[in-house]
Chains A and B, each alone.
Chain A
């Protein structure tokens, strides 16, 4: 069964360092997303991406965040200068479309980012 894969599963980084979280969405999907879940809190939307550009982003997704689809299969989230409060589980998701029939989002297993 097709699935969204994320690497690494766990990333530890020092405050101020740049990190890149990687995702391989399901191959025939056109819409890609990043969400985060701070420990014990709700899952929060960060950004959606379609046709090689951001289609929507939340207030959390400030200038230190960026996304890219560098090679037609990978979808990356970059955090330029990490802060302690960026520590969270980051989920990548993809969907075939956004209408009522094909809007189901499939999530990856997540990358746990720990900023020390």
Chain B
């Protein structure tokens, strides 16, 4: 089985400050890990993924995420938040033996001016 937990329903941060959106996962094997973003009334857009190799992965719009196998975490980070980053963020996992992605419940990021 595979599962994802996003412990925060909402994260508030001021523009220009660093942001972190937390994600932990559970798989029986080695994971593929993903972050997606959803803007209002839109579908999900891919941000970044971890497949193998370097634990720090960089993605679109200046976002990055760090794979931590010992803590089974894949937190999303950005050094300096923008108001336009305000959106719903989903973490997802796929065990390499599975064909489907399992998503977390999402974290709403609100960046204030």
Asked if A and B are interacting partners, one says no
